[in-house]
Amino acid sequence: MMSNFNPQFAKIGEVLIFNNLISEDQLNEALSEQKTTKGKLGHILIKNGLITEEDLTNAYSQQTGHKTISGEDLLKANLEVTNLLSEDFAKEKNIIALNKSDSSIIIAMEDPEDLSTIDSVKKLTKLNPEILISGKSHIERALEVLYDKIKKSDEVESAISNISIIKGDEEDGDELDLATEEVSAEDAPFVKLVNLILTEAIKEGSTDIHIEPGRDTVNVRIRIDGILIRIMSPPMTSLNGIVARIKILSKLNIAEHRLPQDGRMKIKTSDRDIDVRVSILPTVHGEKIVLRLLGSGSKTLTLQNLGFPNKKLKIFRKWINQPYGMVIISGPTGSGKSTTLYAALSEIMSENINITTVEDPVEYQIPGINQVQMHDEIGLNFAASLRSILRQDPDVLLIGEIRDPETADIAVKFSLTGHLVFSTVHANDATSTITRLLDLGIAPFLLGSSLNLVMAQRLVRTIDEDNKESYVPDKNELEKINFKGSKTTKFYRGKPNASNHNTGYKGRTAIHEILEINSEMRQLIFDGENQNQIYNKAVKNGMTSLREAGIEKIKTGETTIEEVLRATVEDM
């Protein structure tokens, strides 16, 4: 090629040759293929593996003088401007409207020589197009994300008309239809804002909403897959209106701003009822609100979708189908203990047995099961309700949490009299659960006789399957988790983008540490052996720790090293 080559007077094939990306023979082969397929030359060269999308984008940029834009920057488009072009048109032409001024509109496209598309944009928007160049796959991915966001914001607006709230407790509450409720013009913006927050949180399947006052703005964050994500930041002037609205809905004292308050309300949507626990706490900048959404998840409760490996699922199923004894699940708040227990109850439920639960709060309502909600303010606590339930002829009993000696005592005696008892305990792992129960005053001979199975559980985020890539972890990462797997093990991570809230993760799965109480284990409990001796014996009998269970999920490509380190502690 000549040294005074000017790409702006050359064809795209000549630019690629000048950049030493293809040879003249390869260009001629692609041109002859183009005559039969009628496809674009660049697409043929990419399909044949001769160049990459980035090579083509850079060549177009050299040829036309237009700048390039990355896939990440495409996602920062102004949605109002993007929406100026219909989704069908944008996807047909593979074009995105990014931003605009009074006279021009910035558009991203793959082929800047597509003059008919540029002319169509000019006619549709009455603005002069300014071109940026991006790869075909980047534009296609951004189109999906951006128009999905536009749809979602439209759906949030329309969803307000399909949401209703029951004020305060359901026992004495009147159903409130948010769409038709008459409010003053002054209150209307706050009503709409609270409705938007609630609807967005429910759509995203979040478990908690945090409304936090700052110095200048109010931060609204929702917990998705265990991690808080900010969804909006309204001005501080809106705080009082938001707080007053939520206090009215949950029947709290709107005049009290100095003391913490707790309340509840119920949201009815088209497909499910959601119980909302409201907690208000005074801070230096104003009242902070946390809303806990119970029953907001839409996933069907089955043991198969809770992340059990086949071997552990077989063990767990064996013990939940025993006629009597105790099955205890341990873990911190938000580790999925209740979800696992509900799935177990759903599996063993039949017309031949009476299942009763005592919970605070009732998180999911399951048809065919008798569920009792605690009310501490009137003296209906775990111990008081259990004394009455013993006279209700239950076969299976779920106790929401063993948190005091009286509840522990009733649970053990209940299991020893021919009943199956499920419950949860706040403990770090399976062996420390036994220590915790002994600390609550249960005699070792009673605990050893009644326990069937203890399972510790954690939740780890799963890699977004649509944005998954393999990588090679460094030596430091592998040492942190004490990885002893094969050298051929493939490691994966998620690529952060708007569809996964820039985390690279989507959804969660559980990891488990299962301790079966066999005859040897019972003897250790009878003899009052310490936690370390019980742990060593359990490992000898085949128990895998939470860290090891997490490493198995890494090997199967479900989660990442970083996530397992976050959720588990090193085995000592």
Model confidence over 76-111: pLDDT tens digits? 899 889 999 998 899 999 999 999 998 999 999 998
List the structure tokens of 195: 């409705």
d(CA 215, CA 235): 10
d(CA 257, CA 255): 6
> Do residue 365 and residue 444 come from a single domain?
yes
Q: List the chain residues with pLDDT less than 50.
A: 1, 159, 170-171, 173-174, 178
d(CA 68, CA 110): 10
Q: Is the link from the previous residue into 361 a cis peptide, with omega within 30 of 0?
A: yes
> Do residue 189 and residue 333 come from a single domain?
no
| Residue 301 resides in a domain | no
* Chain centroid, CA 328 distance in Å: 25
Instruction: Mark which of 22, 38, 64 sits at the end of a domain.
Output: 64
> Do residue 319 and residue 355 come from a single domain?
yes
HSE-CB at 146 with a 13 A cutoff on CA atoms is: 30
d(CA 42, CA 489): 36
> Do residue 178 and residue 238 come from a single domain?
yes
Instruction: Output the domain CATH number for residue 349.
Output: 3.40.50.300
- In the block, residue with structure tokens 């800047």: 112
Give pLDDT, residue 118: 93
| Residue 477 resides in a domain | no
Instruction: Mark which of 124, 157, 190 sits at the end of a domain.
Output: 157
d(CA 207, CA 562): 23
d(CA 104, CA 406): 73
> Do residue 275 and residue 335 come from a single domain?
no
CB atoms within 10 A of CB 446: 18
Opening angle at CA 289, ends 244 and 283, nearest 5: 95
Phi-psi region of 502 (alpha: psi -120 to 50; beta: other; left: phi over 0): left
Contact between residue 365 and residue 342 where contact means Cβ atoms under 8 Å apart: no
d(CA 273, CA 266): 7
| Residue 390 resides in a domain | yes
- In the block, residue with structure tokens 């549709």: 124
Give pLDDT, residue 463: 95
| Residue 148 resides in a domain | yes
d(CA 485, CA 526): 37
Give pLDDT, residue 516: 95
> Do residue 252 and residue 351 come from a single domain?
no
Give pLDDT, residue 1: 45
Task: Look at residues 228, 187, 227 and name the one whose alpha carbon lies nearest to residue 211.
Answer: 228
d(CA 325, CA 417): 9
Check residue 504 and report its DSSP letter. S
- In the block, residue with structure tokens 């759906």: 155
* Chain centroid, CA 195 distance in Å: 21
> Do residue 377 and residue 421 come from a single domain?
yes
| Residue 270 resides in a domain | yes
Give pLDDT, residue 365: 80
Model pLDDT for residues 348-396, shown as the tens digit of each residue: 999 999 999 998 888 878 888 999 988 887 888 888 888 888 888 999 9
> Do residue 238 and residue 141 come from a single domain?
no
Task: Look at residues 420, 454, 421 and name the one whose alpha carbon lies nearest to residue 437.
Answer: 454
* Chain centroid, CA 178 distance in Å: 27
Task: Look at residues 487, 482, 552, 546 and name the one whose alpha carbon lies nearest to residue 514.
Answer: 546
> Do residue 329 and residue 406 come from a single domain?
yes
Task: Look at residues 195, 224, 269, 271 and name the one whose alpha carbon lies nearest to residue 499.
Answer: 224
Contacts of 421 (CB under 8 A, 6+ apart): 325, 326, 327, 396, 397, 398, 399, 411, 414, 415, 450
HSE-CB at 433 with a 13 A cutoff on CA atoms is: 30
Give pLDDT, residue 487: 76
Q: In total, how many domains does the chain have?
A: 4
Give pLDDT, residue 546: 94
List the structure tokens of 141: 């991915």
| Residue 385 resides in a domain | yes
| Residue 372 resides in a domain | yes
> Do residue 343 and residue 219 come from a single domain?
no
Bridge partners, residue 325, by sequence: 420
Contacts of 508 (CB under 8 A, 6+ apart): 225, 226, 336, 459, 460, 461, 462
Instruction: Output the domain CATH number for residue 205.
Output: 3.30.450.90
Q: What are phi and psi of 144, to 5 degrees?
A: -60, -50
Instruction: Mark which of 48, 64, 80 sits at the end of a domain.
Output: 64
- In the block, residue with structure tokens 């039949």: 350
Query: Which residue range(s) make up the domain with 54?
Result: 7-64
| Residue 136 resides in a domain | yes
Output the CA torsion 264→270→271→273 (10° steps).
10
List the structure tokens of 530: 């310490």
d(CA 163, CA 181): 11
> Do residue 412 and residue 525 come from a single domain?
yes
> Do residue 23 and residue 103 come from a single domain?
no
Give pLDDT, residue 152: 65
H or E element at residue 28 = helix 24-37
Q: What are phi and psi of 470, to 5 degrees?
A: -85, 155
